[in-house]
């Protein structure tokens, strides 16, 4: 697992990715062809709340998706959503990775600033010119006996459920990637010059959770989960207009005049949290964020994008993770891909981490 860097998995030239979004299950068939990572097929299926928490329900969803993708790949890669994963960076003693995992298991609060009980962790040492301590924002000298480490984790119950669900599919579960890692990987490949040369913020507005990551010239500065997404907005619109959440979603995407002003009011706290995260980085690192890149399903609403961009006072643009891939999808899927392309950052980045 590497944020913004592609991990090496020799001998892997194709993969099937299952992205466990809170609303949509996304399936991708991706392969390396002529030196390019190529999207061969994809599908998206709407899911009931919490489907990934029930092994039987997840098995049905995976098998249904497998039928639509129609591929013979046997090893599967899972991309977790923000509700089921955590990504942090910290300073740890220079010890073998297995020992780091044990230290996090028994003392996560000491290294991550919060008690994450019953979690499984993976670690990746970070190298780069701009090494900083996320918690304090302070640099450290080469003589410091600690190393900056990127830590990804998930609850043990989530991992057990995934393993149980895949036992009744044709796939073996080979790799698990936190959603933040996937988004950063996809951005690096889609915009390599921006990734390596600028200080920018990546914001994904998801259905149940949103994430913000600040990237400083190829190095991860901070990453945060924000407990807000399109689902919250749908519920508030539905209550306000006495309609169903499904009808609220249609109104939001359709730019109905009756919800525009309401959306602006309800997004205020969300925008404030984004701004606070960026201010933390700017004040501790004394570097300005020059641009914000947004993705996610709720960005399909021009109102949501306009409110975020209008209040951050930093140039903002919507980006498509699909730009990281060569496209060889079956004829007829082009319009479907256009509908979902802003939501595929996690799954595309997971594929890149696995294949490269």
Average pLDDT of span 260-279 = 87
pLDDT at 230: 85
pLDDT score recorded for residue 148:
87
Q: Which pLDDT value is given to residue 135?
A: 41
In this predicted structure, the answer to whether residue 139 has a pLDDT above a threshold of 70 is no
Residues 6+ away with beta carbon under 8 Å from 304: 205, 233, 252, 263, 267, 298
**Cβ neighbourhood burial of 309 (10 Å; 0-12, 13-18, 19+):** middle
Average pLDDT taken over every residue of the chain: 86
CA dist 216 and 89 (Å) reads 14
Checking if the pLDDT of 99 tops 60, the result is yes
- Least reliable range by pLDDT among 68-82, 128-142, 293-307: 128-142
Which pair of structure tokens corresponds to residue 198?
């600028």
Q: Give the pLDDT mean for 191-212.
A: 94
In the predicted model, is pLDDT for residue 198 greater than 50? yes
What pLDDT score was predicted for residue 259? Answer: 65
CB 353 within 8 A of CB 37: no
CA 238 remoteness from chain centre = 27
Q: Cα separation of 84 and 346, whole Å?
A: 13
* pLDDT tens per residue, range 231-254: 888 888 888 888 887 777 776 665
Which residue has better confidence, 337 or 132?
337
- What's the CA dihedral at 343, 347, 353, 356 to 10 degrees? -90
Indicate the pLDDT class of residue 261, thresholds 50, 70 and 90: confident
Those residues with Cβ within 8 angstroms of residue 65's Cβ, 6 or more apart along the chain or in another chain: 18, 25, 27, 43, 45
Contacts by 226-229 with C-beta closer than 8 Å and gap 24+?
226/270, 226/273, 226/274, 228/269, 228/270, 228/273, 229/22, 229/205, 229/298
7: pLDDT strictly greater than 50: no
**Distance from C-alpha of 73 to C-alpha of 102, rounded to nearest angstrom:** 33
Task: Tell me which of 35 and 296 has the higher pLDDT.
Answer: 296
Q: pLDDT at residue 277 above 90?
A: yes
List the chain domain ranges. 84-156, 193-318
Q: Give the rounded percent of residues in the chain with a pLDDT score beyond 90.
A: 56
pLDDT in tens, 285-334: 999 999 999 999 877 677 788 889 999 989 999 999 999 999 999 999 99
The domain made up of 193-318 has a fold known as: Nucleotidyltransferase; domain 5 (3.30.420)
Helix (H) or strand (E) holding 13: none
pLDDT confidence of residue 262: 74
Cβ neighbour number for residue 98 with a 10 Å cutoff: 9
Q: pTM for this structure?
A: 0.87
């Amino acid at each position: 697992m590497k944020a913004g860097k592609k991990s090496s998995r020799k001998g892997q030239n194709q993969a099937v990715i299952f992205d466990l979004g809170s609303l949509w299950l996304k399936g991708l068939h991706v392969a390396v062809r002529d030196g390019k990572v190529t999207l061969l097929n994809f599908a998206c299926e709407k899911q009931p709340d919490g489907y990934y928490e029930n092994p039987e329900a997840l098995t049905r969803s995976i098998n249904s998706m497998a039928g639509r993708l129609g591929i013979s790949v046997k090893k599967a890669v899972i991309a977790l959503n923000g509700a089921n994963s955590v990504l942090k960076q910290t300073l740890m003693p220079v010890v073998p990775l297995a020992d780091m995992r044990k230290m996090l298991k028994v003392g996560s609060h000491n290294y991550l600033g919060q008690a994450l009980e019953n979690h499984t962790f993976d670690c990746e040492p970070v190298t780069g010119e701009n090494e900083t301590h996320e918690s304090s924002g302070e640099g450290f000298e080469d003589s410091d006996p600690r190393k900056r480490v990127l830590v990804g984790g998930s609850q043990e119950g989530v991992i057990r459920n995934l393993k149980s669900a895949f036992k009744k599919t044709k796939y073996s579960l080979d790799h698990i990637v936190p959603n933040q890692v996937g988004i950063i990987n996809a951005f690096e490949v889609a915009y390599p010059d921006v990734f390596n040369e600028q200080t920018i913020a990546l914001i994904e507005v998801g259905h149940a959770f949103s994430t913000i990551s600040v990237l400083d010239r190829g190095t991860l500065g901070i990453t945060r989960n924000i407990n807000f997404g399109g689902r919250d907005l749908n519920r508030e619109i539905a209550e306000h207009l006495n309609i169903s959440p499904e009808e609220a979603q249609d109104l939001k995407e359709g730019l109905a005049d009756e919800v525009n002003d309401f959306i602006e009011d309800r997004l205020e706290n969300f925008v404030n949290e984004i701004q606070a995260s960026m201010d933390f980085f700017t004040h501790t690192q004394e570097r300005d964020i020059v641009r914000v890149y947004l993705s996610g399903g709720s960005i399909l609403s021009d109102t949501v994008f306009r409110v975020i961009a209008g209040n951050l006072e930093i140039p903002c643009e919507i980006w498509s993770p699909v730009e990281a891939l060569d496209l060889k999808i079956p004829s007829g899927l082009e319009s479907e891909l256009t509908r979902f392309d802003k939501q595929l950052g996690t799954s595309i980045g997971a594929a890149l981490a696995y294949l490269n």
